């Protein structure tokens, strides 16, 4: 494990990069945005490549306007419809940074903040920050941490923990785009994907869930058996909750990504809106473990409310192998 300063934000706040290595996996993590800058793993022939899309230096991330490459997003991952919600009889207005909706925490969410960092054992880094009451419109002073650990098999585990001093909504995730052929190697939409989900939450015209749960059987959303990923996906899958949530496989390199999580949902996003700077459409696949989009406005969805005296916890593991 080592750390180095890699620059500073426009306000002059120093940014550091932590490097973790274990069991054939090398992870580079930035304190800016909790960003997974790179994940280097071998293919079936032992050739190592970075399989996480990102930029080679800090200025790339400071100038990025929306892809969320590798970032820790929150307070609320995904969309909140109408950029507002009502909690305990009070309505809170958020920044509408995605059409009429709030996306990934607002205009300056967790992905655009510098986090405090400290070692977590021999193979981990604990990032933490205080999100003050009213930040991006969310109520409550939120004390949140995300601990990134490489386990004995070289898998990346992310553990989230948060407490609040007032009722609020919490739903963080990691927004890494994966290309198991290597970042910059071309489209990842030929990878084979399996998702343990029998339903999705269908969306309306502004990509916010309608509130229904729709079966995937007989549709293009049925990934219960592995098949190649196409384009045009930006949807939340309702996980079955048994075994791994997803498995992504690149037949060319032999690399396999296995996702396990405590979360009830996962957003599949195929990066169709990449403009070629530096990646083109479909060059990476995001598998964002999460609670459902717009849960603050959908009482039938699993709750994202956190109250004083409660502790929010969540864990997701990205395992790496070959075949």
Binding-site residues: 78-79, 175-177, 234
**Which residue of the set 135, 136, 263, 288 is catalytic?**
288
Whole-angstrom Cα distance, residue 271 to residue 283? 7
Contact predicate 265/239, CB 8 Å: yes
Name the binding residues for beta-D-galactose: 78-79, 175-177, 234
Contacts of 109 (CB under 8 A, 6+ apart): 73, 74, 75, 136
Whole-angstrom Cα distance, residue 206 to residue 250? 32
3-state secondary structure 255-319: EEEEEEECCCEEEEECCCCCCCCCCCCCCCEEEEEECCCCHHHCCCCCCCEECCCCCEEEEEEEE
Closest listed residue to residue 288, CA positions, set 212, 237, 244, 225: 237
Whole-angstrom Cα distance, residue 187 to residue 310? 43
Paired with 158 in beta bridges are 148, 316
288 is catalytic: yes
Whole-angstrom Cα distance, residue 295 to residue 251? 36
Paired with 286 in beta bridges are 177, 269
199 is catalytic: no
**Which residue of the set 175, 199, 235, 291 is catalytic?**
175
Paired with 315 in beta bridges are 159
Catalytic residue IDs: 175, 288
């Amino acid at each position: 494990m080592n750390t180095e300063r890699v620059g500073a934000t426009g306000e002059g706040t120093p940014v550091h990069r932590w490097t973790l290595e274990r069991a054939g996996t090398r992870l580079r993590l930035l304190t800016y945005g909790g960003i997974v800058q790179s994940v280097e793993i071998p293919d079936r022939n032992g050739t190592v490549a970075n399989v996480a899309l990102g930029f080679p230096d800090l200025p790339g991330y400071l100038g990025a306007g929306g892809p969320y490459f590798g970032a820790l997003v929150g307070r609320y991952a995904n969309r909140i419809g109408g950029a507002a919600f009502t909690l305990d009889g009070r309505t809170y207005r958020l920044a509408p940074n995605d059409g009429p909706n709030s996306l990934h925490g607002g205009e300056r969410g967790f992905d655009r903040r510098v986090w405090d960092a400290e070692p977590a054992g021999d193979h981990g880094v604990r990032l933490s920050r205080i999100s003050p009451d009213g930040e991006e419109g969310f109520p409550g002073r939120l004390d949140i941490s995300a601990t990134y650990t490489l386990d004995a098999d070289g898998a990346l585990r992310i553990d989230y923990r948060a407490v609040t001093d007032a009722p609020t909504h919490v739903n963080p995730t990691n927004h890494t785009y994966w290309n198991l052929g290597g970042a910059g190697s071309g489209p990842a939409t030929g990878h084979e994907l399996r998702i343990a989900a029998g339903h999705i939450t269908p969306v309306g015209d502004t990509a916010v869930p309608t509130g229904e749960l729709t079966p995937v059987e007989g549709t293009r959303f049925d990934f219960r058996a592995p098949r190649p990923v196409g384009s045009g996906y930006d949807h939340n899958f309702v996980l079955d909750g048994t075994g791994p949530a997803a498995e992504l496989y690149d037949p060319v390199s032999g690399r396999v990504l296995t996702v396990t999580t405590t979360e009830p949902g996962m957003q599949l996003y195929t990066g169709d809106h990449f403009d070629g700077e530096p990646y083109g459409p479909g060059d990476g696949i995001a598998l964002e473990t999460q609670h459902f989009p717009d849960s603050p406005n959908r009482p039938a969805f699993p709750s994202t409310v956190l109250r004083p005296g409660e502790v929010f916890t969540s864990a997701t593991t990205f395992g790496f192998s070959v075949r």
